[in-house]
Structures are given as structure tokens and as C-alpha cells.
């Protein structure tokens, strides 16, 4: 399984402590954060976002506290970042 993430659900919408809890794929399928982390680890390089014709690879990162989370690889725009995607 792989594909394009088109929307995200966040905890605490509207404030600076937003954390992504769920991911909606282009197919409409929704994955929780733990599911998305597992799928990315099984198939690195297979998940992405896109905006203005620029794709951004989605990867698993680890916070300073040791918590895994999902983010996009840095590129030349923020429009394809996960927190820039529409909410559902």
C-alpha cells in the first residue's frame, strides 16, 4: 500500500500545539498516526503529499523525547507540508 496523503485530522485545531492524529489518502482511506508510521516503515519512499506541482516525501521522524511522528521531507515550499493540507 502506498500513495498520496490529501487531508489530515489534528488534535487541538487552531492553536500552536496541533498534532496530526489521522491521515486521509487520495482513495478516501483513513489511517491513524500509528498505522501511518507502520506503513511508512514497511515501504519507505512510498507516501507523499503534493501542492503546486511539488511532491514531498512523507517520512517517520523521532522527537527529542523519543516519540515517533510523521512529517514531510524538507523541500523548497511549505505548501506541501502535512499541516498545510486541508482538515477532515
pLDDT in tens, 41-78: 999 999 999 999 999 999 999 999 999 999 999 999 99
Check residue 17 and give its pLDDT.
76
Range of the domain at 61: 3-74
Q: How many domains does the chain have?
A: 1
CB 84 within 8 A of CB 10: no
Residue 44 lies in a domain: yes
Kindly state the percentage of the chain with pLDDT values over 90: 88
Residue 12 scores a pLDDT above 90: no
Is the overall model pTM greater than 0.95, yes or no? no
Residue 52 lies in a domain: yes
Measured distance CA(4)–CA(12) in Å, rounded: 24
Residue 81 lies in a domain: no
Residue 88 lies in a domain: no
Residue 26 lies in a domain: yes
Residue 64 lies in a domain: yes
Residue 83 lies in a domain: no
Check residue 13 and give its pLDDT.
75
The model's confidence at residue 1, banded by pLDDT at 50, 70 and 90, is low
Amino acid at each position: 500500500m502506498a500513495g498520496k496523503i490529501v487531508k489530515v485530522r489534528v488534535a487541538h485545531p487552531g492553536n500552536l500545539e496541533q498534532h496530526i492524529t489521522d491521515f486521509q489518502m487520495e482513495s478516501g482511506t483513513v489511517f491513524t498516526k500509528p498505522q501511518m508510521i507502520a506503513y511508512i516503515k514497511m515501504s519507505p519512499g512510498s507516501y507523499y503529499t503534493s501542492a503546486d506541482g511539488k511532491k514531498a516525501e512523507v517520512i517517520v521522524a523521532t522527537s527529542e523525547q523519543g516519540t515517533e511522528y510523521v512529517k514531510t521531507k524538507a523541500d523548497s515550499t511549505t505548501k506541501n507540508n502535512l499541516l498545510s493540507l486541508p482538515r477532515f
